[in-house]
Amino acid sequence: MERYAWKATVKEGMLDEYIRRHDNIWKELVDVLKAAGIKNYSIWNTGNELFGYYECEKGADFAARVQAESEIVDKWNEYMKDVMIMELDPATGAQPKMREVFRME
């Protein structure tokens, strides 16, 4: 199973709103993520920084492709624009994949 990590920034003063929106995440979005083979998804925060991690049951490329082709993901990204700064990879439409440099099993 491939692992995927991403980072983003919460706009100043918007962390509580970011958390509130994730507390009320759309069922349709969760369905897309599951269809993409995404499991064990968590998002971490320190200051204004976000770090996301998930495992890709069907591979990271498949997960990125499903998300890039999803209107629901596009709507979510639009919905989140006012609370966060998120760079997207133009090739995949997803957050740029971070490189894993250490793993302890």
1, 20, 22, 74: the active-site residue: 22
Q: Which strand (E) or helix (H) includes residue 30?
A: helix 27-35
Residue 20: count other Cβ atoms within 10 Å of its Cβ: 11
Annotation marks residue 87 as catalytic: no
Give backbone dihedrals phi and psi of 19, rounded to 5 degrees, phi first: -65, -45
Strand partners, 51: 7, 44
Give backbone dihedrals phi and psi of 72, rounded to 5 degrees, phi first: -65, -45
* Residue 45 structure tokens: 């925060």
Catalytically annotated residues? 22
